Amino acid sequence: MRTTSLTTKLLSLAALGVMAGPLQAQEGRQVYEQKCAVCHAAGLAGAPRPGNAADWGPRLRAGKASLYRNAIQGTMRGMPPKGGNPDLPEAAVRAAVDFMTATVAAASKPAARPEVARKPAAQTAPAASTAPVRQAVPPAAAPVAAPAIAAPEAAAVAAPAPVQVASASLALARPEPGSGAAAANAFNRLLRPPGKRNLPPAEDGIHDPAVDGTLQLQPPLAAFGAMPRSNAGNRVDWVKALAEGKIAPRWERDKADAAAVVMDLNIVREVKGSMPDVVYPHKQHTEWLDCSNCHPAIFVPQKGANQMSMAAILLGQGCGACHGRVAFPVSECRLCHSKKKDGVAAGSAAPQAEAHR
């Protein structure tokens, strides 16, 4: 939003210089590039794209007068009055409309409707001196406009047509501001946007949607609905879910009522550096695991006998056997590093439940 407003402002200032001079046919292209291309180049919100006959066909049939009126007064379908530039003279808006409709004629129907193709020829006559420069632009940038260049006799009949095509390719080749900003914001591969979390199997990128089995599997959100949320991993606080009875995972494979053998013993590990010390709660771990899962293969059951570092954990050793694969990931520092150096325990026996923000 802010970007759009700023862009519009800057472009309007830039356009004031253009307004000072007499209106030229070339102005249509300038107005288009400075104002209209923001939406029209990519067809945002259904805006008709230059050179795209399918977009413009129905609109052209309604007549130029209707197009001018809609461009100046705006439409309910999304076109703002004068493209959101109230200071723009109506003549400039009309020139931009002429430019865009001319690109359609030049790109899609050069041979079938030469009379239409010749119309922009008259308008762009003053711009002919700049034509060689624009023709140097590689036409590959505008696949839509390419057929016009590929038809040599059409170019010969309507000589200025390549000028139009080339200038259209200039406009289309320009990076479209909306998508650029979105691409920059979407880059953080560790940060998944809310709409992309807990997707059903058919959309998660690893299941094959073409298989009948995929469609029969339970979607994660169907199970997670009633469970307490967290900020990482499955976005579910598993420890809290178990403590609150939201889930009742079996302790024995085939017995629904077998109770876990829980051991309530906190181990405090003093850590180097400025991070708070780690409080390791046996309780939350023995709710899920058997002693033999961790001892003695991963941790020697003796205080001080286990060397640990975050680097090793990140690589899957020690706590990293589960944390970072299935238990909450190491991004949740304070769930483990929960005891302040001055000796006050921040999270006593239930670090995940209590330290959760």
Q: Write out the binding residues for other proteins, residues 71-90 only, by CB under 8 A.
A: 74, 78-80, 84-87
Question: What does residue 48 show for φ and ψ, rounded to 5 degrees?
Answer: -65, 135
Residue 25 binds other proteins, judged by CB under 8 A? no
Closest listed residue to residue 215, CA positions, set 197, 196, 200? 200
How many other CB atoms sit within 10 Å of the CB of residue 352? 21
Residues 346, 277: Cα–Cα separation, whole Å: 10
What are the CA-CA distances from residue 26 to residues 36, 113, 175, 263 (Å)?
15, 22, 22, 81
Cα–Cα–Cα angle for 73, 167, 62, rounded to 5 degrees? 35
Which residue lies nearer to other proteins by CB, 15 or 166? Answer: 15
Which residue lies nearer to other proteins by CB, 92 or 161? Answer: 92
DSSP state of 225: T
Residue 14 binds other proteins, judged by CB under 8 A? no
Minimum distance from residue 207 beta carbon to other proteins (Å): 5
Among 53, 157, 223, 346, binds other proteins (CB under 8 A): 223
Which residue lies nearer to other proteins by CB, 106 or 236? Answer: 236
Using CB under 8 A as the binding criterion, the count of chain residues that bind other proteins stands at: 83
Task: Return the residues of window 317-356 that contact other proteins according to CB under 8 A.
Answer: 320-322, 324-326, 329-330
Which residue lies nearer to other proteins by CB, 138 or 194? Answer: 194
C-beta of residue 41 within 8 angstroms of C-beta of residue 52: no
Write each residue from 27 to 66 as x if it is in contact with other proteins (CB under 8 A), else as -, in one continuous string: ------------x--x-xxx--------------------
Residue 186 binds other proteins, judged by CB under 8 A? yes
Minimum distance from residue 86 beta carbon to other proteins (Å): 5
Which residue lies nearer to other proteins by CB, 16 or 156? Answer: 16
| All residues at 6 or more sequence positions from 184 whose CB lies less than 8 Å from its CB, including other chains | none
Length of the chain: 357
Minimum distance from residue 244 beta carbon to other proteins (Å): 14
Which residue lies nearer to other proteins by CB, 110 or 281? Answer: 281
Minimum distance from residue 346 beta carbon to other proteins (Å): 24
Task: Return the residues of window 271-300 that contact other proteins according to CB under 8 A.
Answer: 287-290, 292-293, 298
3-state secondary structure of 255: strand
Minimum distance from residue 253 beta carbon to other proteins (Å): 5
Task: Pull the structure tokens for residue 221.
Answer: 């959100």
DSSP-assigned letters across all residues of 126-150: GGGGGHHHHHTS-GGG-TTTHHHHH
Minimum distance from residue 200 beta carbon to other proteins (Å): 10
| Complete edge-to-edge strand list for the sheet that includes strand 277-281 | 266-269, 277-281, 337-339
Minimum distance from residue 351 beta carbon to other proteins (Å): 18
3-state secondary structure of 77: coil
Stretch that binds other proteins, among 26-34, 125-133, 188-196, 340-348 (CB under 8 A): 188-196
Residue 185 binds other proteins, judged by CB under 8 A? yes
Which amino acid does the sequence have at 333? C
Which amino acid does the sequence have at 73? Q
| All residues at 6 or more sequence positions from 182 whose CB lies less than 8 Å from its CB, including other chains | none
- Residue 233 burial (10 A CB sphere; 0-12, 13-18, 19+): middle
Residues 134, 33: Cα–Cα separation, whole Å: 14
Task: Return the residues of window 125-154 that contact other proteins according to CB under 8 A.
Answer: none
Minimum distance from residue 50 beta carbon to other proteins (Å): 18
Minimum distance from residue 130 beta carbon to other proteins (Å): 30
Task: Pull the structure tokens for residue 252.
Answer: 């024995």
Among 7, 11, 12, 277, binds other proteins (CB under 8 A): 12
Task: Pull the structure tokens for residue 12.
Answer: 């309007």
Residue 238 binds other proteins, judged by CB under 8 A? yes
Minimum distance from residue 343 beta carbon to other proteins (Å): 31
